[in-house]
Amino acid sequence: MNGHAVSLRRVDRLEIICLMDNCVDFTSSIEREEVQNVRSWVSRRMGKQWAERNFRFPIAEHGLSMLIRLFCEGELHTVLFDTGISPNGAVLNAEGMGVNLKDVEAIVLSHGHYDHCGGLQSFVKAIGRKDLPIIVHEDMFKTRGVADKDGSVKKYPDFPSENQIKPAVFVKTKDPHLLAEDTILVTGEIPRKTDFEKGYVQQRVLLNGVWQPDPWVWDDRALAVDVKGKGLVVVSGCAHAGIINTVMYAKQITGVSKIHGVVGGFHLSGKDYEKRIDKTVDVLKQLNPEIVVPMHCTGWRAAFAIAEAMPMAFVWNSVGNLYTF
CATH of the domain at 302: 3.60.15.10
Q: With the C-alpha atoms ordered 255, 67, 302, 222, is the resulting torsion angle positive or negative?
A: negative
Alpha carbon distance 194, 272 (integer Å): 16
Q: Give the global pTM.
A: 0.97
Q: How many domains does the chain have?
A: 1
The 8-class DSSP code of residue 73 comes to: T
Q: How far apart are CA 290 and CA 231, in angstroms?
A: 10
Q: Is the separation of the CB atoms in 269 and 297 below 8 Å?
A: yes
> Domain range for residue 73?
10-324
Contact assessment for residue 208 and residue 198, using Cβ atoms and an 8 Å cutoff:
no
Q: 34 near 207, Cβ under 8 Å?
A: no
Q: Is residue 302 part of a domain?
A: yes
Asked whether residue 1 is domain-assigned, the answer is: no
Q: Specify the DSSP class assigned to residue 157.
A: P
Residue 4 lies in a domain: no
Q: How far apart are CA 78 and CA 70, in angstroms?
A: 6
Q: What is the mean pLDDT of residues 112-135?
A: 98
Does residue 138 lie in a domain region? yes
**3-class secondary structure, 311:** coil
For residues 98 and 126, the answer to whether their CB atoms sit within 8 Å is: no
Q: Which residues pair with 67 in a beta bridge?
A: 17, 80
Proportion of the chain in helix, strand, coil states, percent, rounded to 5: 25, 25, 45
Residue 250 placed within a domain: yes
Residue 90 lies inside a defined structural domain of this protein: yes
- 161/196 Cα distance (integer angstroms): 35
User: 266 in a domain, yes or no?
Assistant: yes
Q: What is the mean pLDDT of residues 26-33?
A: 92
Say how far apart CA 59 and CA 319 lie, in whole Å.
7
Non-local (6+) Cβ contacts of 50 within 8 A are: 98
What percentage of residues in the chain have a pLDDT greater than 70?
A: 99
Least Cα distance to 81 among 120, 37, 45 occurs for: 120
Whole-number pLDDT of residue 3: 52
Question: What's the pLDDT at 4?
Answer: 64
Contact in structure between 58 and 24 (CB atoms under 8 Å): yes
- For 48-58, the pLDDT digits (tens) are 999 999 999 99
**Pick from 138, 125, 107, 119: nearest CA to 166:** 125
Single-letter residue type at 277: I
Residue 198 falls within a domain, yes or no?
yes
Confidence bin at 243 (pLDDT 50/70/90) = very high
Residues of the chain with pLDDT > 90, as a percent, come to: 98
Reference 68, options 243, 186, 147, 192; nearest CA is 186
C-beta separation of 164 from 121 below 8 A = yes
Q: What is the mean pLDDT of residues 250-259?
A: 98
Query: Residue 66: which of 115, 20, 100, 127 has the closest Cα?
Result: 20
CA dist 36 and 135 (Å) reads 29
**Rounded to whole angstroms, how far apart are CA atoms 65 and 199?**
22
Going by pLDDT thresholds of 50, 70 and 90, the confidence category of residue 1 is very low
Tell me what pLDDT residue 295 has.
98
